[in-house]
Amino acid sequence: MEWNLLDKQHEFLRLLEMQGKSFNTVKNYKADLQCFNSFLIQKQENLKLKSFTTAQVQEYSRYLDQKYDSSNSVRRRVQALRLFFDFLLGQNIFPENPLKQMAVSPKVLDNPTPTPYPEIRRGYITLRKRVKASEGLTRLVNMRNLILYHLIYGAGLKVSDLAKLHLSNILKEKNGYRVMVEHPKRDPYSIPLPEIFYEDFVYYKDLYQEFLEKEGLEIDELLFNANPYRILSGGLSPRGTELFFEELRKELKSDMTAKSLRQACIFKWLNMNINHTTIREWMGVTPAYSLELYTEELKKDPMGLVYSDLEAELD
């Protein structure tokens, strides 16, 4: 079967986009594959790849070790190529994945860098002011952003989880709300939402459903994608979340990201003395995941890492 390496790489990247991977994630995969292409050009003077032997795998490993000082950089490029060969394997282009036998260093986790609580508080106040100063679809978009903010700092949700949420994932209980997170390969779990979420969610839900009814739209997703004139689709892509934080950072003159806000939520749970087993469950990680990096940072600066739920009087 005749095939072109660059064409297959483009197909692979398009597949990642269709799976909901963020813009930055796809961009990183592209850069990782370009590193492999550079290796092939240097060694073979072209991008033709009819086979990839164990000897070539070992040579690529040495190439990466010489090119990068960081073991995480090497690991990421190996993982990207491994997933690409899995893609080729699925298309019956290769009989097996030659990268399966390539040993890499274990991932080195960076110390958490949470957004400071005063910045989180300022971000919430800013979003509330936007809601009050707007109307129509702009107000609905501002409320969507406020709910997104609650779900990350209030419940520690990942960007990938936010993209898949439906209105039915917000569960009403006697004492408030929980958000249910569902994954295809594990049992669903739910996370309690702080009290301040209640009023904002009720207002958002009413505003959202009223707008959908007015426009004759049937959307089940909790969040949505819109331009200045209309709602385009249900669900908010990871890229859409990234764009929201890019714009918020400019206004706040802050380094806040979805990741740093989520890390702040984890410190908040530690401050609330929630046991580690529960925190790991809410984070959506395996029971073997260690919170040591968080607890060590907390020991270093217990007063600087004080977090709590946002309070209603911030209005």
pLDDT tens, residue by residue, 12-55: 999 988 887 777 788 889 999 998 888 888 877 566 677 777 77
Give Cα 76 distance to the centre of its chain.
17
Rounded Cα gap, residues 301 and 270, in angstroms: 13
Q: Is 48 or 142 the better-scoring residue by pLDDT?
A: 142
Q: What pTM was estimated for this model as a whole?
A: 0.71
Shared domain for 281 and 157, answered yes or no, is: yes
Shared domain for 78 and 211, answered yes or no, is: no
- Tell me which range, 23-27, 98-102, 293-297, is most confidently predicted by mean pLDDT: 293-297
pLDDT digits (tens, 9 = 90+) for 156-182: 999 988 988 999 999 998 888 999 999
CATH number, domain with residue 82? 1.10.150.130
Where is the domain boundary, 72, 101, 130? 101
Least confident of 30-39, 77-86, 306-315: 306-315
Shared domain for 169 and 27, answered yes or no, is: no
**Domains identified in the chain, total number:** 2
- The Cβ of residue 60 has, within 10 Å, a number of other Cβ atoms equal to 22
Confidence category of residue 257, pLDDT binned at 50, 70, 90: very high
Of 270, 261, 276, give the one whose Cα is nearest residue 297: 270
Q: What is the mean pLDDT of residues 93-101?
A: 77
The whole domain housing 67 covers 5-101
Is 215 domain-assigned? yes
Mean pLDDT of the chain: 88
Shared domain for 191 and 134, answered yes or no, is: yes
Position 315 pLDDT exceeds 60: no
CATH number, domain with residue 220? 1.10.443.10
What is the number of alpha carbons within 13 Å of residue 219 lying toward its C-beta?
25
Shared domain for 138 and 234, answered yes or no, is: yes
Position 3 pLDDT exceeds 70: yes
Is 180 domain-assigned? yes
Shared domain for 10 and 39, answered yes or no, is: yes
Shared domain for 122 and 44, answered yes or no, is: no
Of 249, 279, 219, 6, give the one whose Cα is nearest residue 120: 249
Shared domain for 67 and 136, answered yes or no, is: no
